[in-house]
């Protein structure tokens, strides 16, 4: 198989989604696919990539319904001012692997290059959780349905499996991870993200864009540098009376888009490009759906095995903070040094626009490796429905 290189990565600012108060979302007037198109254009602009050389575009979206249905990935391509007129021969697809959709898009694009089918590919993802809210609202509208036959499946507890908060509660209880542990991790995420913001860490990845009202949307809206233990401790459990999972130790509803450029060795030579990282291995696995948070650790274990590496050789980890219990569980399972995990904060502070998150995890990981001089990094996420997905990168 051919080597695959992650050459560049960018994202929009991640805004706070609020279906009932859209005015609070800086991207409220912008469709998610349109936002992704702008991120793709920015990448092509700054990399000098000829749109006609882009042969493959894979897009992650966890809820491809309503306006997020993308006609197999064609809508973002057509809305791109570069790819629309210049890259129409580019093949596209839109992938739903829930919270792993962005990493799945990256994997799809990478495999096309590994197989020798293409030389330049784009991987992107988006989610607009104000305009297309997840959860009960869509079930009530009949947009999301559950096959009746599953209601009687003896091996599946369908209600906990469908409620991500309940799966987090179950993982916390099964792993002995307490509320205080999760609140402390959430506090650390906000502090690390705030510090990274103050140090300008996100300036190389986060684009400065305007919304249709002419307002500049430049900052991630979910970071709370002023939060503290007392505020987090004062929040009530959300999913279970007397439970451990609160709004403070869960990722917020978020809108945003992210994308990456992948190249073969031949394309690197053509563009004299300096890659951020080499893609070493991907892995995705299934786990019990009512304990889906365990998937992040299991996928990381499989990716390490495929790469012939040990967890101690991974110098930077990006473990998606869908809920604080997920990275805490992975850190215990893999015996990780907390100083190597989510060093610029994670989804608890930055936000979790479902389809975009995987691309952010991998792109930020590559940039962290570059800043710290590390060699290997791993990005991993749990996936609703009982899965995990991971990628290992090597700094060039």
Question: Per the residue annotation, which of 61, 90, 99, 378 is the catalytic one?
Answer: 99
| Residue where the block lists tokens 């691309």 | 359
Contact at 8 Å (CB) between 394 and 277? yes
Residue 122's beta-bridge partner residues? 57, 261
Active site residue 90: no
Contact at 8 Å (CB) between 264 and 113? yes
In order of 26, 171, 191, 213, 329, the CA distances from 345 in angstroms are 21, 22, 7, 30, 17
Nearest 5°: CA angle at 379, between 158 and 334?
80
H or E element that contains 383 = strand 376-383
- Which is nearest to 209 in space by CA: 29, 389, 329, 53? 29
Radius of gyration over every alpha carbon of the chain, rounded to an integer in angstroms: 20
* Pairing of β 209-210 and β 216-217: antiparallel
In order of 26, 121, 130, 307, the CA distances from 15 in angstroms are 6, 27, 10, 35
Helix (H/G/I), strand (E/B), else coil: 95: strand
Cα–Cα distance, 294 to 297 (Å, whole number): 6
H or E element that contains 369 = helix 354-372
Cα–Cα distance, 78 to 36 (Å, whole number): 11
Question: Per the residue annotation, which of 128, 190, 329, 352 is the catalytic one?
Answer: 352
Active site residue 99: yes
Residues belonging to the active site: 99, 352, 382
């Amino acid at each position: 198989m051919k080597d695959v290189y992650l050459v560049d990565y960018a994202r929009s600012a991640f805004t706070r989604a609020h279906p009932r108060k859209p005015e609070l979302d800086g991207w409220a007037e912008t469709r998610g696919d349109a936002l992704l198109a702008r991120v793709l254009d920015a990448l092509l602009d700054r990399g000098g990539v000829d749109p006609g050389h882009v042969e493959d575009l894979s897009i992650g979206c966890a809820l491809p319904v309503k306006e997020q249905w993308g006609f197999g990935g064609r809508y973002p391509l057509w809305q791109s001012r570069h790819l629309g007129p210049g890259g129409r021969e580019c093949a596209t697809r839109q992938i739903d692997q829930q919270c792993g959709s962005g990493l799945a898009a990256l994997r799809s694009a990478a495999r096309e290059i590994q197989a020798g089918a293409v030389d330049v590919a784009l991987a992107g993802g988006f989610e607009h959780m104000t305009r297309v809210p997840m959860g009960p609202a869509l079930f009530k509208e009949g947009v999301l349905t559950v096959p009746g036959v599953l209601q009687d499946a003896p091996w599946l507890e369908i209600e906990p499996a469908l409620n991500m908060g309940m799966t987090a509660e179950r993982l916390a209880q099964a792993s002995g991870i307490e509320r205080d542990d999760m609140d402390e991790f959430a506090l650390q995420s906000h502090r690390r993200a705030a510090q990274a913001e103050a140090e300008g860490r996100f300036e190389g990845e986060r684009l400065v864009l305007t919304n249709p009202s002419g307002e500049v949307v430049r900052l991630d809206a979910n970071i709370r540098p002023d939060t503290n233990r007392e505020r987090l401790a004062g929040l009530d459990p959300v999913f279970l009376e007397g439970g451990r999972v609160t709004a403070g130790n869960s990722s917020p509803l978020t809108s945003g888009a992210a994308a990456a450029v992948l190249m073969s060795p031949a394309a690197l030579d053509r563009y004299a490009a300096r890659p951020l990282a080499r893609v070493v291995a991907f892995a995705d696995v299934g786990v019990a759906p009512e304990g889906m948070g365990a998937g992040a650790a299991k996928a990381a274990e499989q990716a390490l095995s495929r790469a012939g590496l040990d967890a101690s050789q991974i110098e930077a980890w990006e473990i998606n903070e869908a809920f604080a219990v997920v990275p805490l569980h992975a850190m215990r399972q893999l015996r990780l040094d907390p100083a190597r995990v989510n060093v610029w904060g994670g989804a608890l502070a930055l936000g979790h626009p479902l389809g975009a998150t995987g691309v952010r995890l991998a792109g930020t990981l590559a940039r962290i490796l570059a800043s710290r001089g590390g060699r290997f990094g791993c990005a991993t996420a749990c996936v609703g429905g009982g899965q995990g997905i991971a990628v290992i990168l090597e700094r060039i």
